[in-house]
Structure 1
Amino acid sequence: MAIALVLVLVVVGSVLFHVLSPWWWTPIASNWSYIDTTLVITFWITGFVFSAVVLFMAYCVYRFRHKEGATAHYEPESRKLESWLTAVTAIGVAAMLAPGLYVWSQFINVPKDATEVEVVAQQWQWSFRLPGKDGKLGTSNVRLVSADNPLGINPDDPNSKDDVVVEAADLHLQIGKPVKMLLRSIDVLHDFYVPEFRAKMDLVPGMVTYFWLTPTRTGTFEVLCAELCGTGHNFMRGTVLVDTEQDYATWLEKQATFAQLSTPAKVGALATPAKDVAKVE
């Protein structure tokens, strides 16, 4: 009786914790409310199954408890029960998979008017690259990474010259504008995650991954690395600011392009005396 009661209390406590505790995620700031809906559906299905299984265990413990003179009934299999379990399990799995597949289809099909923004991860900082006035990002290669070119941008690509480079600083996005995030890692496995955006993806060395989103409210949001990437993993944080169209344009005008950062005065500024820098300029 005590065991059956404990099992019932486990179910009741789990339901109350879910309903009353303030564990819910942060308010959403992108178009991916579909992901929240999918998670809620998964919670309902798995929560129902969990409650049903534990309550059934409690019933069995109480109903078939030991009694003097009682003899157990031997029934090694039941085709009817197995058929019911198979059918119910298949329906439950399909109910969880269908919303996820629908959302995934939307997640990987990027709108044609989306602006490309490159996210570059390295131990332990975030850097970003945005297209310049030509609207195109130049190519890059990890073999080109150096102290003077930390993002490995191809200097011979004409499209690279006007690319906006944001190294180890805040990223700004425009509200209501679809953005395709191109994800690239210079060293080890990382994961770009902004909880309010509900979108995340691994950054895998040697390949470019992506996802897209549309920011739906202005504000400042923290970027986290959601993949263990070394001893400084917990310090690998950044900031994304969602601006109005005017604020975004103002910020963009103040950013340096790859061509500006690649000038001799910029590249050799640390090693060249101030008077020599003045001569170069």
Structure 2
Amino acid sequence: MAIAIALILLLAGSILFHFLSPWQLTPLASNWGSIDDTIGITFWVTGFVFVAVNVFMAWAIVRYRWRADRRAEYEPENKKLEWWLIGVTTVGIAALLAPGLFVWASYVTVPDDAHEVEVVGQQWHWGFRFPGEDGSFGRVDTRLVTGDNPFGMDASDPAGHDDVLVHGSRVRLPVDRPVKALLRSRDVLHNFQVAQFRAKMDLVPGQLSYLWVTPTRTGEFEILCAELCGIGHFAMRGMVEVVEPEVFEQWLAAQPTYASELARAAPDAAAGKALYTPCAACHGAEGQGNVQMNAPRLAGQDAWYLIRQLEYFKAGARGAHPDDTHGQQMRAFAGMLADRAAMADLAAYVETFPEPPPVISIDGNPQRGARVWRNCGACHGSEGQGLQATQAPRLAGQDDWYLERQLENFRRGIRGRHPGDAYGWQMAEMAKLLRDDDATRDLIAHINTLALAAAPAPADPTALARRTD
């Protein structure tokens, strides 16, 4: 009897939890209400079976409980019962599968008036490409992918020159207009999902998959990778902003085309020398950094990362937080640079600086830090050398006091939470792995060992000084 009562209580608790739980489907924001209907049918069918089975078990326990005055009878076959079970099961399975088949037929049938966008997934961010005025995409090839050509565009195909490239993980779509998303992966298996759209599909390396959706309300909706794609899977997020059609057209017209990227002039380090003059007051004549001025070293850092940070400062995506007082100073200097070409010239000049030897100021346990570094190295490289493919800058050789401050900024949400910071929010998520200040110092102590291993032997043995101030 106690077991029967426990079953009934568990059944009642499960039903109450389902109806009273705060965890429900996100509000629908697309045409795929039929998917919600299919999910609802599945809940009702499986819920009916769940209730029926548990009630039957409780009844059987009470009805056929042991009694001294009777014995159990063995009945190996009951054709009437078997036919009932076959019939009820068939109806249940049909009720589960049939709606899904109708919805799937619609899901793979794209409307003729749908416009297209290509979604490119890679560890661990998204990119987007729209066809240009010719309405067709240019050829791509993963063998053509480089740091400067992340989409793998084929320059010999004129159809691709007007393609619109969106390098960040944030994209806009027009409301009430069907869109076909062509899905492509650069490395491993990913899955493109927007929960409010009720739409998701795998991105399989070597093939092109697709889905289609009609956004039905404006707003911002998060993109998730719904496939375990590696150590940074949880941070592979993006954002779809659904806007009015005229806003979408204005935004699309402001995005760069492949032709405009091909036409960019090569950076001029000589021109960058003059632009660097205001920077030298804080960062040093050769970018060696100055802790008294809270200015990190720039020498040794990759130009592509320097350009991105200057763009972020200029646009207010970095240095806008009221607690980021040092970042606010940089915003003023970044505003002095006229455009991206000037930033590229400045970064090219910084790349000519000799790399100074590392100066170590933070104590920690590098062995413990090495365990945390396994997560960091997936993006920043096993030796902290930085990887443009994952948009992760070089860390080996960077001032350790600066690394400590930035990790603290990421942990506290001072850096990396601005909507325009396409990659900083990934670091803000990863920084949560650091439990406390000791874990941060241990990690930096390990990074310092990478810096010492990569540093050239100095002519002066005292050059590898340890700062104690």
TM-score normalised per structure 2 = 0.57
With a CA cutoff of 8 Å and minimum separation of 6, indicate the structure with the bigger relative contact order. Answer: 1
> Which aligned pairs between 1:119-268 and structure 2 lie closer than 5 A?
119-265=119-265, 268=266
Aligned residues: 275
Alignment partners' CA distance in 2, 1:191 and 1:274: 45
The share of aligned pairs that are identical, in percent, is: 55
**Per-residue deviation, 1:133:** 1.4
C-alpha displacement of 1:147: 1.6
Aligned Cα root-mean-square deviation (Å): 1.5
> 2:28 & 2:188 partners in 1: Cα distance?
29
Moved more, 140-149 or 98-107: 140-149
Aligned counterpart, 1:114: 114
- Deviation beyond 4 Å, 4+ runs, structure 1: none
Range that drifts further, 207-216 or 21-30: 21-30
Report the TM-score, using the length of structure 1 for normalisation.
Answer: 0.94
Which residue of 254, 269, 273 maps to 1:273?
Answer: 269
Q: Which has the higher helix share?
A: 2
Deviation at 1:264, TM superposition (A): 4.5
Instruction: Output the amino acid matched with 2:192.
Output: F
Structure ranking higher in strand proportion: 1
Unpaired runs of 5+ in structure 2? 273-340, 343-469
> CA separation of 1:56/1:153 partners in 2, compared to 1, >3 Å: closer, same or farther?
same
Match of 1:32 in 2: 32
Paired residue secondary structure (1:201): strand
| Whole-Å separation in 1 of the counterparts to 2:147 and 2:27 | 39
98-107 or 15-24, which deviates more = 15-24
SS of match in other structure, 2:22: coil
- Report the equivalent of 1:62: 62
Are the equivalent residues in 2 in contact too, given 1:116–1:137 (CA < 8 A)?
A: no
Please tell me whether the aligned partners of residues 218 and 243 of structure 1 are also in contact (alpha carbons under 8 angstroms). Answer: yes
> In structure 2, what residue type is equivalent to 1:52?
A
Counterparts of 1:274 and 1:41, CA distance in 2: 68
Q: How far did residue 155 of structure 1 move?
A: 1.5
Following superposition, the deviation at residue 274 of structure 1 comes to 5.5
Matches within 5 A, 1:88-107: 88-107=88-107
Is contact 2:169–2:237 with CA below 8 Å preserved after alignment? no
1:169, distance to aligned residue in structure 2 (A): 3.5
List alignment gaps of at least 5 residues for structure 1: none
- In 2, the alpha carbon distance for the partners of 1:97 and 1:255 equals 43
Q: Which has the larger radius of gyration?
A: 2
2:75 aligns to what SS in structure 1? coil
Deviation at 1:70, TM superposition (A): 1.6
Distance in 1 separating the partners of 2:153 and 2:262 = 11
Residue in structure 1 matched with residue 81 of structure 2 by the alignment = 81
Q: Distance in 1 between matches of 2:94 and 2:8?
A: 28
| Aligned counterpart, 1:13 | 13
Instruction: Please give the alpha-carbon distance, in whole angstroms, between the structure 2 residues aligned to 1:264 and 1:182.
Output: 28
Shift of 1:111: 0.5
Q: Residue type matched to 2:67 in 1? A: K
Say if 2:173 and 2:242, in contact at 8 Å, map to a contact too: yes
* Secondary structure in structure 2 of the residue aligned to 1:149: coil
